[in-house]
Amino acid sequence: MKLTNYSEAIARKALEMGAIRLSPEAPFRWASGYYMPIYNDNRTLLGDCEARHMIALAFKEILGSLDYDPDNIAGTSTAGIPHATTLADLLGKPVSYIRSSSKDHGLQNQIEGLGRAKTYQKQKVVLIEDLISTGMSSINAVKAIQQADGNVPYCLAIFSYGTDQGKQAFASLDPACEAVTILDYDYVIAIAKQSGYIKPEQEQMLLQWSASPFTWGENHGWPKEGN
């Protein structure tokens, strides 16, 4: 995470709108079957123009702090597309987006917005993602950009759970691509405590999840369901 002038306001907005939900006593069952005390749905933020604008400003600030001026703003499909577009409009840059896989018809594109060339032609690209969990969808998008002759040293996201899987996935990339987020799990917990969104005993349960997310549910009486 790279703290920006907008991080706290975005965290508070995400909690207020339910884009980030914390519920250690009644955890959420993720698609993986694990029970987790947090659920993130950044699509909720799309319904608030102020939130969208703050996210774009935070991404712009991060790019400035990294001293990185991209030629193209790429968004992951679908959740990264609106934020990539807002940032591209703010910066006056071209926008592209990356599908999870190539289309099976027409031009069979995996990346849209590249025109007839179908490649980035060695341009500097920044990838915009909404969420980093295990990191696999982001990694696939990074590889697609690299295969399309794009240089993508940074993937910017709104929020990261901070899992070891996500960190290891990005560490394995060659050429390297660094994940940089506006918010992360520990920061959101701190803001939630500060704002009275959670109680002290809830904070302890939530911090335990951060230490061991995939054993947390079973340790608290909610074993994984399914395979």
In tens, the pLDDT along 144-184 reads 999 999 999 999 999 999 999 999 999 999 999 999 999 99
**HSE-up of residue 128 (Cα within 13 Å, Cβ side):** 27
Instruction: Give, for 98, the enclosing helix (H) or strand (E).
Output: strand 95-98
pLDDT reading at 106 higher than 60: no
Tell me what percent of the chain is helix, strand and coil, each rounded to the nearest 5. 45, 20, 35
CATH of domain 7-219: 3.40.50.2020
pLDDT band at 227 (very low <50, low <70, confident <90, very high): low
Looking at residue 101, its pLDDT comes to 61
Rounded Cα gap, residues 128 and 53, in angstroms: 15
Mean pLDDT value of segment 8-14: 98
